[in-house]
Structure 1
Amino acid sequence: MKALALPVLLGYSLLSSVAFGEKIGEVSTVFKWLGPNDKIVLEAFDDPKVAGVTCYLSRAKTGGVKGGLGLAEDRSEASIACRQVGPIEFRGDLKDGEEVFRERTSLVFKSMQVVRFFDRTRNTLVYLVYSDRVIEGSPQNSVTAIPILPWPEH
């Protein structure tokens, strides 16, 4: 039992700096006779290293029998919008290209991820969403930027 617990704890600690999405809503795009419909899912997540930033991610979710069983590969299209929702405070050092969100989009080989960059010249946080695959990724992507501004005190 202890031999199994150690890899699980190590895996969790490696992922602990990656945010998890909170489902905001979804819309059906294609009706399926068997299994769930194809959808666009809207999720929100907070940047784990930057307090005061929330990102909203919309992405395709494949339905049908395979989708219902978690065996379908989701499409690579996604859109992202990040906003300042409070005073911005860095929680540790920021690394350009650091992953802040990851979601599996196929059983094994494909994932959608969001990475962050800090444009120091313009004092702006830039977030990029893209899909990758073990062998070949997708050039489809979306980007959003947040200028770091003072937050009014109430």
Structure 2
Amino acid sequence: MNKNAFALAAFAILASSARAETVGDVSTTFRLLGANNKIVVDVFDDPKVSGVSCYLSHAKTGGIKGSLGIAEDTSDAAVACRQVGPIGFSGTIPQEEEVFTERSSLLFKHVRVVRMADKKRNTLVYLVYSDRVIEGSPKNSVTAVPVPRETPLPVK
């Protein structure tokens, strides 16, 4: 693969993933040195479904390692997606697709949100989980957004 094709593929992958904004956070543990442990609430819009926003709460480890960005966050996360406007689709969507990812350790751990299409019920299902190269976590959270019947899911 030449350099231009590789760069274009990398850009396409980055562009398809949603970007989050932080709504707020609460401290859960006081740390004498470095930042406190926190629960952070972020929001992102589904990149292929207009009118749907997802709120993601997840743990952030504080202390000196957390302040330096080298701490590993726990796998605790929850997601709540809601219709915030008219639902529309920018083309077809796959049956299952990752719509958000964020690193939760320096190298090998991520928090991921996957959108699944329940065509029979005309509903979008969002699952949050944490993975790691060697060992992931079974902790997860799920939410669903029903789509009005007059707007059928355009699943590939």
TM-score, normalised to structure 1, is 0.90
| The 10-residue stretch of structure 1 (136-145 or 87-96) with the greater mean CA deviation from structure 2 | 87-96
- Contact between 1:21 and 1:44, CA under 8 Å: does it hold in 2? yes
- What's the counterpart of residue 117 of structure 2? 118
- What's the counterpart of residue 46 of structure 1? 45
User: Take 1:145 and 1:80, find their aligned partners in 2: how far apart are those partners?
Assistant: 10
SS of the residue 2:16 aligns to? coil
AA of the residue aligned to 2:34: G
SS of the residue 1:19 aligns to? coil
Unaligned runs of 5+ in 2: 151-156
Counting matched residue pairs gives: 149
Pairing 1:94–2:93 present: yes
- What's the counterpart of residue 80 of structure 2? 81
Question: How much has 1:94 moved relative to structure 2?
Answer: 1.2
Work out the percentage of aligned pairs sharing the same amino acid.
60
Question: How much has 1:136 moved relative to structure 2?
Answer: 1.1
Pairing 1:70–2:69 present: yes
Q: Deviations along 1:24-58, whole A, 9 cap, x unmatched? A: 00000000011100000000000000000000000
Q: Which runs of 4+ in 1 moved over 2 A?
A: 3-13
Pairing 1:128–2:143 present: no
User: Take 2:91 and 2:27, find their aligned partners in 1: how far apart are those partners?
Assistant: 39
Question: How much has 1:13 moved relative to structure 2?
Answer: 2.3
